[in-house]
Structure 1
Amino acid sequence: MSYQPIKVEFVNPFLDATSAVFRTMLNTELKRGALYLRQGMTLSHEISGIIGLSGKAKGTVLIGMNSDFAIAVTDKLLGEKPDGLTPEVIDAVGELANMVAGGAKTRLEELNMSISLPSVIAGKNHTVSFPSGAVPIGIPFESELGAFSVEVSLVEVA
Protein backbone atom coordinates (compact mmCIF):
# COMPACT_ATOMS: atom_id res chain seq x y z
CA MET A 1 0.00 0.00 0.00
CA SER A 2 1.30 3.44 -0.83
CA TYR A 3 1.18 6.13 1.80
CA GLN A 4 0.57 9.81 1.26
CA PRO A 5 2.50 12.32 3.31
CA ILE A 6 0.33 14.49 5.54
CA LYS A 7 0.48 18.17 4.65
CA VAL A 8 1.68 20.47 7.41
CA GLU A 9 -1.34 22.68 6.76
CA PHE A 10 -3.49 19.71 7.85
CA VAL A 11 -1.56 19.20 11.11
CA ASN A 12 -1.31 22.80 12.34
CA PRO A 13 -5.10 23.21 12.82
CA PHE A 14 -5.04 20.25 15.23
CA LEU A 15 -2.13 21.81 17.16
CA ASP A 16 -4.02 25.09 17.40
CA ALA A 17 -7.36 23.47 18.28
CA THR A 18 -5.80 21.31 21.01
CA SER A 19 -4.12 24.30 22.63
CA ALA A 20 -7.33 26.37 22.38
CA VAL A 21 -9.50 23.61 23.93
CA PHE A 22 -7.13 23.13 26.86
CA ARG A 23 -6.76 26.86 27.41
CA THR A 24 -10.49 27.69 27.29
CA MET A 25 -12.15 24.54 28.66
CA LEU A 26 -9.52 23.39 31.17
CA ASN A 27 -7.64 26.62 31.95
CA THR A 28 -4.45 24.71 31.15
CA GLU A 29 -1.49 25.70 28.99
CA LEU A 30 0.22 23.03 26.92
CA LYS A 31 3.85 22.45 26.03
CA ARG A 32 4.27 20.67 22.71
CA GLY A 33 6.95 18.05 22.17
CA ALA A 34 8.63 16.96 18.94
CA LEU A 35 6.35 15.57 16.24
CA TYR A 36 6.73 11.88 15.41
CA LEU A 37 5.50 9.39 12.84
CA ARG A 38 3.60 6.54 14.44
CA GLN A 39 4.91 3.09 13.62
CA GLY A 40 2.64 0.07 13.99
CA MET A 41 -0.90 -0.11 15.33
CA THR A 42 -0.39 -0.84 19.06
CA LEU A 43 -0.67 2.24 21.23
CA SER A 44 1.11 3.02 24.46
CA HIS A 45 -1.85 4.89 25.96
CA GLU A 46 -4.59 3.33 28.06
CA ILE A 47 -7.40 5.43 26.58
CA SER A 48 -7.97 6.77 23.08
CA GLY A 49 -10.66 9.18 21.96
CA ILE A 50 -11.10 8.73 18.21
CA ILE A 51 -12.97 10.79 15.60
CA GLY A 52 -13.31 10.10 11.88
CA LEU A 53 -13.12 12.91 9.35
CA SER A 54 -14.54 12.97 5.84
CA GLY A 55 -14.99 15.50 3.05
CA LYS A 56 -12.38 16.77 0.57
CA ALA A 57 -9.93 15.09 2.94
CA LYS A 58 -10.48 11.96 5.01
CA GLY A 59 -8.83 10.46 8.03
CA THR A 60 -8.79 10.07 11.76
CA VAL A 61 -7.76 12.06 14.79
CA LEU A 62 -6.91 10.26 18.03
CA ILE A 63 -6.27 11.70 21.47
CA GLY A 64 -4.35 9.22 23.59
CA MET A 65 -3.70 9.36 27.31
CA ASN A 66 -3.25 7.33 30.48
CA SER A 67 -6.05 6.90 33.00
CA ASP A 68 -4.58 9.40 35.51
CA PHE A 69 -4.64 12.12 32.85
CA ALA A 70 -8.22 11.21 31.80
CA ILE A 71 -9.34 11.40 35.44
CA ALA A 72 -7.59 14.77 35.93
CA VAL A 73 -9.25 16.17 32.79
CA THR A 74 -12.65 14.93 33.96
CA ASP A 75 -12.09 16.48 37.38
CA LYS A 76 -11.30 19.84 35.71
CA LEU A 77 -14.32 19.63 33.40
CA LEU A 78 -16.87 18.47 35.99
CA GLY A 79 -15.38 19.81 39.22
CA GLU A 80 -15.56 16.36 40.79
CA LYS A 81 -12.77 13.77 40.86
CA PRO A 82 -13.96 10.42 39.51
CA ASP A 83 -12.99 7.20 41.26
CA GLY A 84 -11.32 5.35 38.38
CA LEU A 85 -12.39 4.95 34.76
CA THR A 86 -16.06 5.73 35.23
CA PRO A 87 -18.56 6.35 32.41
CA GLU A 88 -18.06 10.08 33.08
CA VAL A 89 -14.34 9.75 32.35
CA ILE A 90 -15.02 7.87 29.10
CA ASP A 91 -17.56 10.54 28.11
CA ALA A 92 -15.07 13.32 28.94
CA VAL A 93 -12.39 11.72 26.73
CA GLY A 94 -14.88 11.47 23.87
CA GLU A 95 -15.96 15.08 24.35
CA LEU A 96 -12.31 16.22 24.42
CA ALA A 97 -11.71 14.44 21.10
CA ASN A 98 -14.90 16.01 19.73
CA MET A 99 -13.86 19.53 20.76
CA VAL A 100 -10.38 19.18 19.24
CA ALA A 101 -11.72 17.72 15.98
CA GLY A 102 -14.44 20.38 15.81
CA GLY A 103 -11.92 23.15 16.41
CA ALA A 104 -9.63 21.80 13.70
CA LYS A 105 -12.58 21.40 11.33
CA THR A 106 -13.38 25.12 11.57
CA ARG A 107 -9.72 25.88 10.74
CA LEU A 108 -9.94 23.60 7.67
CA GLU A 109 -13.14 25.07 6.18
CA GLU A 110 -11.91 24.68 2.59
CA LEU A 111 -12.05 20.87 3.01
CA ASN A 112 -15.81 20.84 3.80
CA MET A 113 -15.29 18.12 6.39
CA SER A 114 -17.78 16.26 8.51
CA ILE A 115 -16.75 14.67 11.78
CA SER A 116 -18.08 11.42 13.20
CA LEU A 117 -19.32 10.88 16.71
CA PRO A 118 -16.41 10.12 19.04
CA SER A 119 -15.45 6.59 19.94
CA VAL A 120 -13.42 5.81 23.03
CA ILE A 121 -11.26 2.73 23.49
CA ALA A 122 -9.92 1.90 26.94
CA GLY A 123 -7.41 -0.81 27.80
CA LYS A 124 -3.67 -1.23 27.81
CA ASN A 125 -1.97 -2.08 24.51
CA HIS A 126 -5.07 -1.56 22.38
CA THR A 127 -4.66 -1.17 18.64
CA VAL A 128 -6.07 1.42 16.28
CA SER A 129 -5.64 1.30 12.53
CA PHE A 130 -5.79 4.49 10.52
CA PRO A 131 -7.64 3.64 7.30
CA SER A 132 -6.71 6.73 5.33
CA GLY A 133 -3.49 5.39 3.80
CA ALA A 134 -1.30 7.90 5.65
CA VAL A 135 1.17 7.37 8.45
CA PRO A 136 -0.26 9.24 11.45
CA ILE A 137 1.70 12.22 12.72
CA GLY A 138 1.86 12.28 16.49
CA ILE A 139 1.95 15.46 18.53
CA PRO A 140 2.95 14.92 22.16
CA PHE A 141 1.84 17.46 24.75
CA GLU A 142 2.64 18.05 28.40
CA SER A 143 0.62 20.04 30.90
CA GLU A 144 0.04 20.43 34.63
CA LEU A 145 -2.48 17.57 34.27
CA GLY A 146 0.06 15.22 32.69
CA ALA A 147 1.11 14.11 29.23
CA PHE A 148 -0.99 13.03 26.26
CA SER A 149 -0.73 12.91 22.49
CA VAL A 150 -2.81 13.79 19.47
CA GLU A 151 -2.31 11.68 16.35
CA VAL A 152 -3.58 12.93 13.01
CA SER A 153 -3.98 10.98 9.79
CA LEU A 154 -5.60 13.14 7.13
CA VAL A 155 -5.19 12.94 3.36
CA GLU A 156 -6.88 14.65 0.45
CA VAL A 157 -9.51 12.67 -1.41
CA ALA A 158 -8.71 12.28 -5.11
Structure 2
Amino acid sequence: MRADYINPFIQSLCTTFETMLSCEITRGQLYLREPNTALHDISGVIGLSGNAQGTVVLSLDKKVALAAASVLLMCEAEEINADVVDAVGELTNMVAGGAKAKLEEYQLSISLPSVVTGTGHEIRFPSNVTPICVPFNSPWGPLKIEVGLAAVQQLAGAH
Protein backbone atom coordinates (compact mmCIF):
# COMPACT_ATOMS: atom_id res chain seq x y z
CA MET A 1 0.00 0.00 0.00
CA ARG A 2 1.26 3.47 -0.88
CA ALA A 3 1.69 6.22 1.71
CA ASP A 4 -0.21 8.71 -0.46
CA TYR A 5 -3.34 6.59 0.14
CA ILE A 6 -3.17 6.97 3.92
CA ASN A 7 -2.43 10.71 4.25
CA PRO A 8 -5.93 11.89 3.18
CA PHE A 9 -7.46 9.60 5.82
CA ILE A 10 -5.12 10.93 8.53
CA GLN A 11 -5.92 14.53 7.56
CA SER A 12 -9.65 13.83 7.39
CA LEU A 13 -9.67 12.10 10.80
CA CYS A 14 -7.85 15.03 12.44
CA THR A 15 -10.15 17.57 10.75
CA THR A 16 -13.30 15.63 11.67
CA PHE A 17 -12.32 15.37 15.34
CA GLU A 18 -11.36 19.06 15.50
CA THR A 19 -14.38 20.49 13.66
CA MET A 20 -17.16 18.09 14.67
CA LEU A 21 -16.06 17.17 18.19
CA SER A 22 -13.81 20.10 19.25
CA CYS A 23 -11.27 17.42 20.16
CA GLU A 24 -7.62 17.57 19.21
CA ILE A 25 -5.99 14.21 18.55
CA THR A 26 -2.28 13.40 18.35
CA ARG A 27 -0.90 10.89 15.91
CA GLY A 28 1.31 8.00 16.90
CA GLN A 29 3.73 6.06 14.70
CA LEU A 30 2.12 4.36 11.73
CA TYR A 31 2.81 0.68 11.16
CA LEU A 32 1.81 -2.20 8.91
CA ARG A 33 -1.03 -4.11 10.49
CA GLU A 34 -0.41 -7.71 11.44
CA PRO A 35 -3.17 -10.25 10.68
CA ASN A 36 -5.59 -10.91 13.54
CA THR A 37 -4.84 -7.62 15.31
CA ALA A 38 -7.49 -6.89 17.92
CA LEU A 39 -9.15 -3.51 17.71
CA HIS A 40 -10.62 -1.15 20.30
CA ASP A 41 -14.14 -1.65 21.70
CA ILE A 42 -16.10 -0.25 18.73
CA SER A 43 -15.12 0.07 15.06
CA GLY A 44 -16.74 1.73 12.08
CA VAL A 45 -15.97 -0.04 8.78
CA ILE A 46 -16.42 1.39 5.28
CA GLY A 47 -15.65 -0.26 1.97
CA LEU A 48 -14.12 1.72 -0.89
CA SER A 49 -14.47 0.92 -4.58
CA GLY A 50 -13.54 2.57 -7.87
CA ASN A 51 -10.07 2.78 -9.44
CA ALA A 52 -8.80 1.65 -6.04
CA GLN A 53 -10.50 -0.78 -3.69
CA GLY A 54 -10.23 -1.44 -0.01
CA THR A 55 -11.49 -0.89 3.48
CA VAL A 56 -11.20 1.80 6.14
CA VAL A 57 -11.64 1.00 9.82
CA LEU A 58 -12.03 3.68 12.51
CA SER A 59 -11.59 1.92 15.87
CA LEU A 60 -12.37 3.71 19.13
CA ASP A 61 -11.85 2.89 22.77
CA LYS A 62 -15.20 2.76 24.57
CA LYS A 63 -14.47 6.04 26.40
CA VAL A 64 -13.71 7.77 23.09
CA ALA A 65 -16.86 6.40 21.46
CA LEU A 66 -19.04 7.52 24.38
CA ALA A 67 -17.48 11.00 24.53
CA ALA A 68 -17.70 11.49 20.74
CA ALA A 69 -21.31 10.29 20.67
CA SER A 70 -22.15 12.61 23.59
CA VAL A 71 -20.86 15.60 21.60
CA LEU A 72 -22.59 14.58 18.35
CA LEU A 73 -25.90 13.71 20.04
CA MET A 74 -25.75 16.66 22.45
CA CYS A 75 -26.65 14.41 25.38
CA GLU A 76 -24.70 12.14 27.70
CA ALA A 77 -24.00 8.67 26.29
CA GLU A 78 -23.24 6.25 29.11
CA GLU A 79 -23.25 2.89 27.32
CA ILE A 80 -22.72 1.57 23.82
CA ASN A 81 -26.24 1.50 22.41
CA ALA A 82 -27.91 2.09 19.03
CA ASP A 83 -27.31 5.87 19.21
CA VAL A 84 -23.59 5.42 19.92
CA VAL A 85 -23.31 2.86 17.11
CA ASP A 86 -24.99 5.34 14.73
CA ALA A 87 -22.65 8.13 15.88
CA VAL A 88 -19.56 5.98 15.27
CA GLY A 89 -20.91 5.04 11.84
CA GLU A 90 -21.45 8.70 11.02
CA LEU A 91 -17.94 9.65 12.21
CA THR A 92 -16.49 6.90 10.02
CA ASN A 93 -18.57 8.17 7.10
CA MET A 94 -17.29 11.74 7.61
CA VAL A 95 -13.66 10.57 7.72
CA ALA A 96 -14.03 8.41 4.60
CA GLY A 97 -15.93 11.16 2.78
CA GLY A 98 -13.27 13.74 3.59
CA ALA A 99 -10.52 11.43 2.35
CA LYS A 100 -12.49 10.52 -0.78
CA ALA A 101 -12.54 14.20 -1.77
CA LYS A 102 -8.71 14.25 -1.67
CA LEU A 103 -8.41 11.04 -3.72
CA GLU A 104 -10.45 12.20 -6.73
CA GLU A 105 -8.21 10.49 -9.29
CA TYR A 106 -9.38 7.10 -7.97
CA GLN A 107 -13.08 7.94 -8.48
CA LEU A 108 -13.93 6.24 -5.20
CA SER A 109 -17.37 5.27 -4.00
CA ILE A 110 -17.86 4.61 -0.32
CA SER A 111 -20.23 2.04 1.13
CA LEU A 112 -22.57 2.61 4.01
CA PRO A 113 -20.72 2.18 7.30
CA SER A 114 -20.97 -0.99 9.34
CA VAL A 115 -20.17 -0.88 13.04
CA VAL A 116 -18.65 -3.77 14.99
CA THR A 117 -18.63 -3.80 18.80
CA GLY A 118 -17.09 -5.97 21.46
CA THR A 119 -13.74 -6.32 23.19
CA GLY A 120 -11.08 -7.96 21.03
CA HIS A 121 -13.08 -8.01 17.79
CA GLU A 122 -11.20 -8.35 14.49
CA ILE A 123 -11.75 -6.93 11.04
CA ARG A 124 -10.19 -9.02 8.30
CA PHE A 125 -8.80 -7.35 5.21
CA PRO A 126 -8.38 -9.15 1.86
CA SER A 127 -5.24 -11.31 1.87
CA ASN A 128 -3.61 -9.27 -0.91
CA VAL A 129 -3.93 -5.97 1.00
CA THR A 130 -1.65 -5.05 3.92
CA PRO A 131 -3.38 -2.28 5.83
CA ILE A 132 -1.57 0.63 7.38
CA CYS A 133 -2.57 1.36 10.97
CA VAL A 134 -2.22 4.79 12.54
CA PRO A 135 -2.81 5.05 16.30
CA PHE A 136 -3.96 8.32 17.86
CA ASN A 137 -4.41 9.62 21.38
CA SER A 138 -7.15 11.98 22.45
CA PRO A 139 -8.08 13.53 25.78
CA TRP A 140 -10.78 10.83 25.92
CA GLY A 141 -8.49 7.85 25.21
CA PRO A 142 -6.97 5.89 22.32
CA LEU A 143 -8.27 5.37 18.80
CA LYS A 144 -6.82 4.24 15.50
CA ILE A 145 -7.52 4.22 11.83
CA GLU A 146 -6.62 1.34 9.54
CA VAL A 147 -6.61 1.74 5.78
CA GLY A 148 -6.13 -1.09 3.32
CA LEU A 149 -6.37 0.26 -0.21
CA ALA A 150 -4.92 -0.93 -3.51
CA ALA A 151 -5.21 0.32 -7.08
CA VAL A 152 -7.45 -1.93 -9.19
CA GLN A 153 -4.49 -2.84 -11.47
CA GLN A 154 -2.57 -4.15 -8.43
CA LEU A 155 -5.50 -6.29 -7.39
CA ALA A 156 -5.89 -7.74 -10.89
CA GLY A 157 -2.18 -8.69 -10.93
CA ALA A 158 -2.48 -10.48 -7.60
CA HIS A 159 -4.61 -13.32 -8.98
In which range does the TM-score fall when normalised by the shorter chain? over 0.9
Alpha-carbon separation, structure 2, partners of 1:65 and 1:83: 15
What do you get for the CA RMSD once the two structures are aligned? 1.1
- Other-structure match for 1:88: 83
TM-score (norm 2): 0.92
The answer to whether residue 52 in structure 2 is matched with residue 57 in structure 1 is yes
- Other-structure match for 1:3: none
Of the three residues 130, 152, 155, the one matched with 2:150 is 155
The answer to whether residue 85 in structure 2 is matched with residue 101 in structure 1 is no
User: Equivalent residues in 2 for 1:7-156 (5 A)?
Assistant: 7-131=2-126, 133-156=128-151
Look up the equivalent residue of 1:37 and give its one-letter code: L
Q: Note the C-alpha offset of 1:38.
A: 1.1
Cα deviation per residue 1:72-107 (whole Å; 9 max; x = unaligned)? 100111221112111110001100110000000000
Structure 2 CA distance for partners of 1:55 and 1:132, relative to 1, 3 Å: farther
Q: Note the C-alpha offset of 1:145.
A: 2.1
- Match of 1:45, SS state, is coil
Alpha-carbon separation, structure 2, partners of 1:17 and 1:153: 16
| 1:14–1:104 contact (8 Å) kept in structure 2 | yes
Alpha-carbon separation, structure 2, partners of 1:132 and 1:52: 15
- Match of 1:23, SS state, is helix
Q: Note the C-alpha offset of 1:35.
A: 0.3
TM-score (norm 1): 0.93
| 1:134–1:154 contact (8 Å) kept in structure 2 | yes
Alpha-carbon separation, structure 2, partners of 1:42 and 1:36: 12
Which ranges of structure 2 fall in alignment gaps of 5 or more residues? 154-159
- Between the two proteins, the alignment pairs up a number of residues equal to 153
Large movers: runs of 4+ above 4 Å? none
| 2:52–2:150 contact (8 Å) kept in structure 1 | yes
Cα deviation per residue 1:34-63 (whole Å; 9 max; x = unaligned)? 001111224231111000000000000001
Percentage of pairs with the same residue: 47
Structure 2 CA distance for partners of 1:105 and 1:132, relative to 1, 3 Å: farther
